Every structure is written in C-alpha cells, then in structure tokens.
Structure 1
Amino acid sequence: MDAYLLIDFGSTYTKLTAVDIENEEIIATAKDITTIEDDIMVGFNKAYEKLEKLMENNNVNFVKKLACSSAAGGLKMIAIGLVPDLTAEAAKRAALGAGARILDIYSFELTLDEIEEIKNSNLDIILLAGGTNGGNKECIIHNAKMLAESGIDVPIVVAGNKVANDDIKRIFKEHNMDYSITENVMPKLNQLNVEPAREEIRKIFMNRIVEAKGLGNAEEFVNGILMPTPAAVIKAARALSEGTDDEAGIGDLIVIDIGGATTDVHSIADGEPTKPGVTVRGLEEPFAKRTVEGDLGMRYSAISLLEAAGTRKIREYLNDKEKKIDVLNNCKYRSENIKMVPKTECEIAFDEAMAKVATELAMSRHVGTIECTYTPMGAIYSQIGKDLMEVKYLIGTGGVLVHSDNPAEILKAGTFNKQQANYLKPQNPKYLLDKTYILSAMGLLAQELPDLAVRIMKKYLVKVS
C-alpha cells in the first residue's frame, strides 16, 4: 500500500505516524527519545524499528516522508518593535504563529546593553518590526543600525514600516547581514498582517535553521523538514476548523497542549463579541492565535507553575482541605526529575491537579476579557482580546491528557467560570482528545493532502466527556 510517513522530531520524543492514503487510515504510530546531542537519526531509527514491527503484516511503500521539528529548543526568536502594545506585540504574534519560542521582546530604540543581551541569547532568528506604513521610521532604522554594527550572525526578518526598507537594505548590505524583507506586520494602526512574516520565518527555518541544528542528517531520509512543530499543530487546527473546498470543517475550536515545559493554546476563531452592545478595544486579534506559557509546565516548569498559581489553587483541585499533601515538595520533585512517570494514585492525582491549573491559567491568559465602565449614559462594555465563549470544540493533547482516565475534567478547567465572569472562555464546548498524538502529523499532511488530513482528524480525534 502507498503511505505517507509523518515525523515529528520533538524536544523529548521523535514521533512517527504512518498513514494509508488510499484507505485513509493511520497504519501505526511509534516514538522514541530524540537524540539531538549526537545524531538525530539514532532516535529516529529506534522509533522506526518499532513502527516496522507494528506494520510487519502490511506491505507499506512510503511515497512521501515529511517532518517537523522542535528539537534543540525549537525555533528561538526575538521580536523587536516600536510601541510595546502595538508593533512589538504584532511582531510577537507573528513569531508565535510561525511556531517560534519567544526568548524576549524589545520596544523603542535598542540600547547597547540590550544588543549585548540579544547577542548572548542563543537565538535563531530576529523579527524586526516597527512603525505603521508611512509612520515613524527613525526607530526601526536605528535598530537596524544597532543590529548591523553589533555583528550578530543570525537571519533577520524585516517586517516594519515600508518607508524605512530602502535605508534598512543599504545598512544591512554594507554589513553583509543575513536578512529578508516582507510586508509590515502592522501596516495600519491596530491592523494585523502577520501571515507574510510567518511564511518568511517558515522558509528560513526550512532552508537554514534545519542544518544549523544538526537536522541535515535527517534530510537524507525525509523529503523535507517543513516547519517547526507548533506551526504544524496550528496548521492542523486551522484545517480542521475551516475545512477545505471538498471537506467541511468542524467550526471554531481551541487546542490545549500541556507539556513538560510549557502549555500552548491555539484558538481558531474570529473572536468577535458574542453579546450585543460590546465594543472591541486594542490590537486586532489573529484568526489563528497561539500563546505559549513558559511558566506552566508539568516538569521543567513545575516550580514556576506553583508560583503562578499559588498553593491554595493546587489544593482546591486536589480537594485537599485538610492540607495533608506537601505541594511544594511534589512540585520540586517533578522539576528535578523531568522524566518522572506517575504510578501511584496520589502521583496521578497531583499531576492532574497541576494540569487543571495549567489549563485554567493558560486559557485565562489566552482569551479576551470584558470590562464595564459606568458613564452618565449608562454602562459601557468593552472587549479586549478574543471572545471565545461560543467556541464549539476544546481539543486536548499532551501526555497528561492522553494518559488520564478523566481528560474532559482537565479540559473543563479551561471553560467559563462564573467566579471569573470577565474572562471570555468557552461556555459549553465539546471535548476531543488527540489520543494518538496526530495533530502535528496532520499539519504536515495538510500541506499536501488537506482533504485527507481533515477526514483523518475527524476520524481519529476521540470524543471525551
């Protein structure tokens, strides 16, 4: 049978998914530890051996082998803009939507100290933005000069005021900088235009970053490493939500990915007000939005999760009214033993309480909020961010959800709560679980066979309640 092999070189595991493209079925999945330090193909080969054993009764011919990667820390970026709440925020959203991990965000004119921070930050790409088209150009030109004179040797994507592009080209050419110029991420005030920058970042990832991270060995086997893993997930989510010309999508959705280091939230929805009489304020929200919470993780970030939530919040989810459980030591143990697999009932319960906290806080940071202002004309309601109250589906992925006996209970922690009624979280969503870790694989498949990718996701994402 003809099949696609879809590969995710993850930060911890290399995951393989074999798809029968004629019968539209997943033949088998397998994973093994990612071996980025030595040769990434060592971990891949171990996973591939497992896959072959699972497929030994099938005559499989892989016609395509496609991959995504978040190995070696994924795609690490710094975003630079003019005003923190405007062009700097627009640059950040463009970078996150491209699947990057944001190391830092800088605003206004860069200082020498900030340039040193950037040089020492072990980054992969810089996104340089600033100014609406025809607006302030002095800041982005200053920042281009500072970067050029610093001798920093990473690709720079320029996505700012188009009036400054000629000056920036001249500056970067004089200093032999590695750069590309694309459309402004915010051409008009409060108007986002992030897709061109996202696509440019993806091209750089494919053409240059892959080799720098030692992934070149894999390219001898695969047809291409197409994108960072988070970009593949958001690609899958968007395909599933919107559908294709021949295959209907399922509508607005949110994906919650709870990992050892971060909790990522992807929403596919326009986020317009769902209640009458509400006006929208602030920066325009992207239809496909991704947020990454680096302090909300199950292992690496266990201590910072405790700091963000507080002991009482974790105890509430544990139903530990008598305070018998040592919350601090449990979090500390997990942060020091990142490969810990919970075995006892107490360990499982604690992990699930952490997951509920991560889900609640990550969703609170992702969704929009509503504010009420009283005026002589009466109450005025303003929305900042996305209204996701009527989103149809909440999709969970990540180890703690996949291995839970009650994944829906974890996902419910991210839904609307009357005690925090100003947070515009989903009210009555249906719950789906990525039981076989196929979302990143389907993002890859959607690049070439989008109809098939949508149908497989509809078939294999599991309903939970």
Structure 2
Amino acid sequence: MKIDVLVAEIGSTTTVVNAFSGIHTDNPLFIGQGQSPTTVLDGDVTIGLKGAVEDLKSNLNIAEVEYDDFLASSSAAGGLKMTVHGLVYDMTAKAAKEAALGAGAIIHLVTAGRLRRSDIKKIQDIKPNIILIAGGLDFGERDTALYNAEEIAALNLGIPVIYAGNIENHEDIKEIFKDYNSKLYIVDNVYPKVDLLNVEPCRKVIQNAFEEHIVHAPGMTKVRSMVNGPIIPTPGAVMEAAKLLKEDIGDLIVIDVGGATTDVHSVTKDSDEIARILLSPEPEAKRTVEGDLGVYVNMKNVLSRIGEEKLQSELGFDIKPIIENYKPIPKTDEEKRFVEKLTLEAVLTAVKRHAGTVRRLYGESGRKSVAEGKDLTQVKYIIGTGGALTRLPGRADIMEKISESGKGTELFPTKEAKILVDNHYIMASLGVLSKKYPQAALKLLKASLEI
C-alpha cells in the first residue's frame, strides 16, 4: 500500500502514527493509525516510533510501509518548556506569554521588570528549552530588557534565546550574546505600540527554534533517522490546524481535554461592541492551558471541584469503586458516565478561564462598562479534540452546555455556535501536515469534522 505521509504524535506516554494517502490529489484520505508506548526514557524515541509503525502495519494488514514524508509533533521530553521575561506584566510580559502559549509552549515562569536573584535561580532549576526576552515599546524603555539579557547570557545555558522587545535594542542584544553559547533569535517586538499585539512572528520563530533543538532533547537524538519533515510542539500543531480551519469556515474554539491538562484554543476576533470597551488587546489566536484540569492524572483535582457526594448523587450509583480502580480509558457504562461528569467540569472551567468578562465601573461620570479578556461571542463552531471529547458517548452534549453556562457578563459562545467533533482524533497531526500540505490538511480536517 502506497502511503504518502506518516505523521507521528509523540506524547509523554503514547506515540501515535497516522497514515495519509492521496495528499497530492483532490481526495486525500486518512487510512489508518498505529500506536505504541513512547520510549523517551529508554533514551531513543525511535523505538516507540517503530513500534507504532509496526502496529499500523498490523492494523492495515500489510507487510511493509512505504512513504514519502514522515512528520511529527511532540510533547515528549517535557514538551516545549519556556520561561518568559518582559517589562510590565499586563503589557509586554503578557504579550510574550501569548506568543509562547500559541506556539505550543509549556510556560514555567513569567517575570516582569528586572530579574531578581530568585528568578535567576528558578530559571536554572527549570532548565527551559527556550528563553523569551521582551520589554519596552518600540523606541520606548530600553534598559530593563538589556539588563535581563545580560543576566540570562551570563548563565550560559546553551539553549536558544529569543529577543522580541524594543527594536532599538537589536544591536546591543547581539553584542551581549556574541560571546556566549546560546543561539540568538531576534524577532519583531510582540508589543510594539500601546494596545497593539504582534505575536505571530514570534510564534513562528519559537516553533522553528523548537524544531531545530528538540532533536537534542533526552531520547530524541535519533528522531531524524526516521522523521524527515517538520517537528512541532503538539499544542502548537492543534493551533495551526485551528487557524487553517478558521480561514475556511469562520471563528471557532477548539477544546482538548486530556489526562493531565485541558487546552483551549480560540481563533476569533472581538465583536465591534466589545472591541470599543476592551481594556487591553487580545490576540486573534489565543491558547490557554489549565494544568489542574485533567481527567486521569488530575482526576482528583476535578473531582474535588465537583464534590464527591454531589457527583454520586447526580450519577445515582456508588462511585468509590471507580475512584479506587481508576483507569485511563473507561470501559463500562458507569465508568464512562463518571468521566463525562469530570470532562464537563474541566470543559466549563477551562472555557470560563479562557473567556473574557464585562465589568461595570462607577465613577464621577456615572456607570460605564469595560471588557477584559478574550471575546468568544463571535464563535461559530465549538470543536472537540483529544481523547475525552472524541470518544465519550456524551461528548456533543458536554460541549453544548458551554453556551448554556455563560452568565450575562461572561463573553462565552452563543447558543448559535455549532458543535463539531474531531472524529478521527487527528487534529494535531493535520496541524503538522498543514506546514507542508495545507490544502490536503484542510480537506482531511473537514472530513474528520464531518463538514
């Protein structure tokens, strides 16, 4: 069987390989999937990759797999760990954080202002894959970013450093890093003017730096012996797919409930009404990741949010045996109903944290309304991906409750938003595929969503 492209999703525990054919035609097809345990801890991720390919061969009942391209996304080896350092938290530090999250990073530290000794110690302990320095509007304040660059360069960590601050600092930043063992990337300012975000150039550089350096991560050193195309962070791949889809069908939100985290990706513009009263700008493409909301690793966190007695009363059966023998994949009807309740709580909480709100302020001139955060009221589609929202029987019902739960002051999607499910669970893989074959990726994505 001729396979045009294999796309691997190298997770922290499982590696999945998806096979696609007809990539160069008007009828690209998703033809099969294989999976195997990830082998980062064995010092060689290709062991798990080869295992997933063997499983794919078994599922397709073929002796050999021939392909032209092998692409990948990865959240293994700790994913893309970053620290972000700006000038003012609500401005440049926030803008830099948005750029990093949208690229698929896991942010371990955000600082504003001059780095303190405690901050330097945290950076050393975190051992980030990439450091992002921002700060200062273009032709504005210069010294904080330069000071932070001096401190970070002196650590000589040998990792990529991205500078995305005041344009006037470019020559000085080059001088600071020229004698140190860090690859320096200089990119457009993420916050060049007041109320103007410019995060997309920085996001692209973050993904390029990740791809260039991830092959040196533990267990990833041999990955280029198999993967001959792009390698991007898995959450960043989902964002790439979301942005591609938005251009075709309109404003949308994508929710991925996993075992440890819940990610929300929105690609939507503010309504005219909200844009007029927004206190600070939001990116069109925004990602939030909730590290306490997962339905396996963080099951007890979500359960405590609901309340054990309340959940048992709602379900009408004893949930203690399920809690005591909790499995990553529910099998029985009772286990599935239990996980659906956890998933609903994770979804509603994550969207609430992602969405903005309208507040009423009272002053000498009377009452006025202001908006903070991301406006989701223009969203036309709510899309579910990830294990829980693609496999649970009640997945559509869970997502329909999003618009029902928004209070008047919360900028939630409206009841007109349609529910879509990534039925083949390939959205991340198609985000990777879109880097090289955008038209084929879009057609495959719409087929998985059944639109």
TM-score between the two structures when normalised by the length of structure 1: 0.89
Q: Which residue of 1 aligns with 2:150?
A: 145
Q: Which residue of 1 aligns with 2:299?
A: 302
Deviation track 1:327-376 (CA, whole Å, cap 9, x = no partner) reads xx976x58xx6x53323433322211111111001001111111223567
State the match for 1:48 in structure 2: 53
| Structure-2 residue corresponding to 1:34 | 38
Determine whether 1:421 maps to 2:408.
yes
- Aligned residue type for 1:431: I
Q: Is the 8 A contact 2:356 2:375 kept in 1?
A: yes
Q: What is the one-letter code of the residue matched to 1:271?
A: D
Map of 1:181-196 to 2, 5 A cutoff? 181-196=186-201
Specify the alignment match of 1:461 in structure 2.
449
Counterpart of 2:263 in 1: which secondary structure? strand
Q: CA deviation at 1:318?
A: 5.9
Structural mapping, 1:286-301, within 5 Å: 286-301=283-298
Distance 1:165 1:261 in 2: 39
Contact 2:230 2:435 in 1 (8 A): no
User: Do the aligned residues in 2 keep the contact of 1:368 with 1:423 (CA within 8 Å)?
Assistant: yes
Which whole-Å deviations, capped at 9, do the CAs of 1:116-136 have from their partners, x for residues lacking one?
111011311111111111111
Question: Does the Cα contact within 8 Å between 2:312 and 2:318 map onto a contact in 1?
Answer: no
- Which residue pairs with 2:79 in the alignment? 74
1:434, distance to aligned residue in structure 2 (A):
1.4
- Quote the offset at 1:461 in angstroms: 1.6
Amino acid in structure 1 at the alignment position of 2:258:
G
Q: Does residue 434 of the first structure (1) align with residue 422 of the second (2)? A: yes
Kept in 2: contact 1:90–1:185 (CA 8 A): yes
Q: Which amino acid aligns with 2:168?
A: V
1:370 and 2:358 are equivalent in the alignment: yes
Is residue 6–residue 67 contact of structure 2 (8 Å, CA) maintained in 1? yes
- Mapped to 2, the partners of 1:430 and 1:207 lie a distance apart of 38
**Mapped contact 2:343–2:388 kept (Cα < 8 A):** yes
C-alpha contact 1:7 1:16 (8 A) present in aligned 2: yes
Residue 255 of structure 2 corresponds to 256
Partner of 1:236: 241
Structure 2 residue matching 1:73: 3-state secondary structure? coil
- Counterpart residue type for residue 320 of structure 1: E
User: What do the CA deviations read for 1:129-155 (whole angstroms, capped 9, x no partner)?
Assistant: 111111111111111111122333321
Q: Which residue of the partner structure matches residue 100 of structure 1?
A: 105
What is the deviation of 1:306? 4.4
For residue 280 of structure 1, what is the aligned residue in structure 2?
A: 277
In structure 2, what is the equivalent of residue 265 of structure 1? 264
3-state DSSP of counterpart to 2:428: helix
Aligned to 1:383: 371
Per-residue CA deviations over 1:366-400 (Å, capped at 9, x if unaligned) read: 11111223567664322222221231111111222
Q: Contact conserved, 2:7 with 2:432, CA < 8 A, in 1? A: yes
Would you say the 8 A contact 1:278–1:380 is kept in 2? Answer: no
- Give secondary structure in 1 for the equivalent of 2:175: helix
Structure 1 residues 213, 225: CA separation in 2 closer, same or farther (over 3 Å shift)?
farther
CA distance in 2, matches of 1:278, 1:316: 40
Deviation, 1:49, is 1.3
> Letter of the aligned partner of 1:219 in structure 2?
R
Paired with 1:377 and 1:58, the residues of 2 have a C-alpha distance of: 77
Cα shift at 1:241: 1.4
Match of 2:431 in 1: 443
Change (3 A) 1:241 1:37: same
Alpha-carbon distance, 1:455 to partner:
1.2
2:353 pairs with 1:356: no
CA distance in 2, matches of 1:62, 1:161: 45
User: C-alpha displacement at 1:190, in angstroms?
Assistant: 2.2
CA separation of 1:303 and 1:82: change in aligned 2, threshold 3 A: farther
Task: Name the count of aligned residue pairs.
Answer: 445
Task: Give the whole-Å Cα distance in 1 for the aligned partners of 2:306 and 2:152.
Answer: 40
- The answer as to whether partners of 1:389 and 1:416 remain within 8 angstroms in 2 is no
Q: 1:306 to 1:277 in 2, by over 3 A?
A: closer
TM-score by length of 2: 0.91
Check conservation: 1:128, 1:156, Cα contact below 8 A. yes
Is the CA contact (8 Å cut-off) linking 2:279 and 2:370 kept in structure 1? no
Distance 1:315 1:285 in 2: 39
Q: Deviation digits for residues 246-267 of structure 1, max 9, x if unmatched? A: xxx1111111000111100001
- The residue number in structure 2 matching 1:5 is 6
2:220 is the counterpart of 1:215: yes
Q: Percent identity?
A: 39
SS of 1:394's equivalent in the other structure is strand
Residues 69, 225 of structure 1: 8 Å contact kept: no
Counterpart Cα distance in 1 of 2:446 and 2:63: 24
Distance 2:74 2:274 in 1: 44
Q: How has the CA–CA distance of structure 1 residues 369 and 427 changed in structure 2, closer, same or farther, with 3 Å as cutoff?
A: same
Q: What is aligned with 2:178?
A: 173
SS in 2 for 1:142: helix
Change (3 A) 1:240 1:322: closer
Query: Alpha-carbon deviation of 1:272?
Result: 2.8
Partner of residue 245, structure 1: none
Structure 1 residue 59 displacement after superposition: 8.8
